[in-house]
Amino acid sequence: MIELEKKILTEKNLANLAENRKSPLIWTNGCFDLIHTGHINYLLACKKLGGELIIGINTDDSVKKLKGDQRPILPLTDRIQHLAAFFFVDYIFPFSEETPLKWIKKLKPDFLVKGGDYQIQDIVGYTEVLAYGGKVKTIPMVPGKSTTSIIDKILESYDKS
């Protein structure tokens, strides 16, 4: 059994990974609250780019700043454990900043990836990654699969009762 803790990167581990890369590095980031089919398909598509998949995950405080006081639904420890359980996820890096730009600059991933709801030129790190020869990509969203739609459906069922 894989020890899930080995997948969690510290700042020191991240710097070490950047310096001693053995294969291309793929960076994506997000809140990853209430893992669903859309997340799984997206992360698999990231991994298929070829290399080690590193997920930057927002801490609870940064999720609140981005999504409001009612989020995250699940605490960081649970969200990390869910992601770490996937065989195709190599590393997870929790970050507390509003954007992961600092960490993207430090890691210098070969691929920077976000969901298809982003305009590629608006992705945080776009300019920096292109400047050193990396690639920035978007992956199409799975229609109807989102954390917000799950939350809305749950709230709708309570409103009917």
Residues in contact with 100: Cβ distance below 8 Å, sequence separation at least 6, in sequence order: 27, 29, 56, 124, 125
> What digits encode the pLDDT tens for the residues 89-98?
999 999 999 8
Predicted pLDDT of residue 158? 75
Predicted pLDDT of residue 151? 65
CA atoms within 13 A on the CB side of 115: 16
- If one compares 152 and 130, the residue with the highest pLDDT of the two is 130
DSSP element (H, E) containing 90: none
Q: Which residues sit opposite 52 in a β-bridge?
A: 25
Structural domains in the chain, sorted by start: 4-160 (3.40.50.620)
- Residue 121 burial class via C-beta count within 10 angstroms: exposed 0-12, middle 13-18, buried 19 and up: exposed
Instruction: Compute the radius of gyration of the chain from its Cα atoms.
Output: 16
What mean pLDDT do residues 36-53 have? 95
User: Does the pLDDT of residue 161 top 80, yes or no?
Assistant: no
